[in-house]
Amino acid sequence: MIAGVIRLITGATARWVGCAPEAKQRIYFANHVSNLDFPVIWASLPRELRRRARPIGARDYWQPGPVRRFLATRVFNAILIDRTGFTAANNPLVAMEAALAEGSSLIIFPEGKRAREDEDNPFKPGLWHLAKKRPDVELIPVHLANLNRILPKGEVVLVPLLASVTFGEPIAPLAGEDKPTFLDRAQRAVADLAER
């Protein structure tokens, strides 16, 4: 029901242009433009895939307040991470690797923070580390369009527009490819979906 409400409010439509919505273990990685991002990707997945997908979210945004906390933990089954002060004890990759080991798929935002419409934040290395650690898990680029206009940064009122969620062709690190080259290629894979 909540997935349907999210799709209704945002008008989000899923477009599968490089892969099919199959029951495979995957890491969906997307551009990050709005606090609606992970709920919209989650809601765009078919029910079977949605049950296995665990979004990664910022603890400082989703933990405060009973409604957000309930949605994050009870509805989305999100993995909440700290965005600053990483130590060996709170390394966000540990929780992500554990979820993958349990058979879950992940929804992540490698930029680490929301970007303005006219900018791109470079991808952080987490996607690289997950790809190297779990080469058996498909990496699916996802492009989100219009979410930054539906819920602009700093606003709480939704603006009615139509959003789109485009799922692209799986990528993987190439033989001999270094981390910066892979991350640049992954970011281009997301950006290129805007044209499809």
Structurally, the chain folds into a number of domains equal to: 1
pLDDT at 25 over 90: yes
| pLDDT at site 64 | 86
For every residue of 73-140, which 3-state class applies, written as one string? HHHCCCEEECCCCCCCCCCHHHHHHHHHHCCCEEEECCCCCCCCCCCCCCCCCHHHHHHHHCCCCEEE
Rounded distance, CA 152 to CA 164, Å? 16
Which domain does 164 fall in, by range?
2-195
pLDDT bracket for residue 62 (50, 70, 90)? confident
| pLDDT at site 157 | 43
Among candidates 190, 50, 29, which has minimal Cα distance to 107? 29
Tally Cβ neighbours within 10 Å of residue 113.
10
* CATH number reported for the structural domain that contains residue 108 in this entry: 3.40.1130.10
pLDDT digits (tens, 9 = 90+) for 70-129: 988 888 999 998 877 777 777 889 999 999 999 999 999 998 776 665 567 889 999 999
pLDDT bracket for residue 68 (50, 70, 90)? confident
Rounded distance, CA 98 to CA 34, Å? 26
Phi, psi of 2 (to 5 degrees): -65, -40
Query: pTM (2 decimals)?
Result: 0.87
Amino acid (one-letter) located at 86: F
